[in-house]
Amino acid sequence: MFKVTWSAVALDQLAAIFVTFDLDTQRRVAIAVEALNRRLALRPFDEGEARAGSGRVVFIDRLIVGFSIDAAAEEVRIAGVTPYGR
């Protein structure tokens, strides 16, 4: 199982985006983020799309989440979060 770590920047970005959503969207996003954390811990290479270097992005409910995988250390690092969609 991989360790999933959120950078302080990613957490701040998530919080700033989260508070702009209505309550129903906040609930959906919270569930989606929890599910993403579980999937990344189990099979991170199955998530998202590859980017330059070890970078990857995944699209979940109203968010684009950027992350990298360190296979040797068995760690996934969430680097950033941006909103998408309406």
Q: pLDDT-based confidence at 85, cuts 50/70/90?
A: confident
Whole-angstrom distance, CA of residue 63 vs CA of residue 60: 5
Q: What pLDDT is recorded for position 29?
A: 97
Strand-pair partners of 56: 50, 67
pTM, 2 dp: 0.92
pLDDT level of residue 80 (50, 70, 90 thresholds): very high
Here the contacts of 38-46 (C-beta below 8 Å, separation 24 or greater) are 40/2, 40/4, 40/67, 40/76, 41/1, 41/2, 41/3, 41/4, 41/76, 42/1, 42/2, 44/2, 44/69, 44/76, 45/69
Q: Which amino acid would we find at residue 61?
A: D
pLDDT in tens, 19-78: 999 999 999 999 999 999 999 999 999 999 998 877 999 999 899 999 999 999 999 999
- Spell out the domains of the chain, with CATH numbers in brackets: 3-83 (3.30.2310.20)
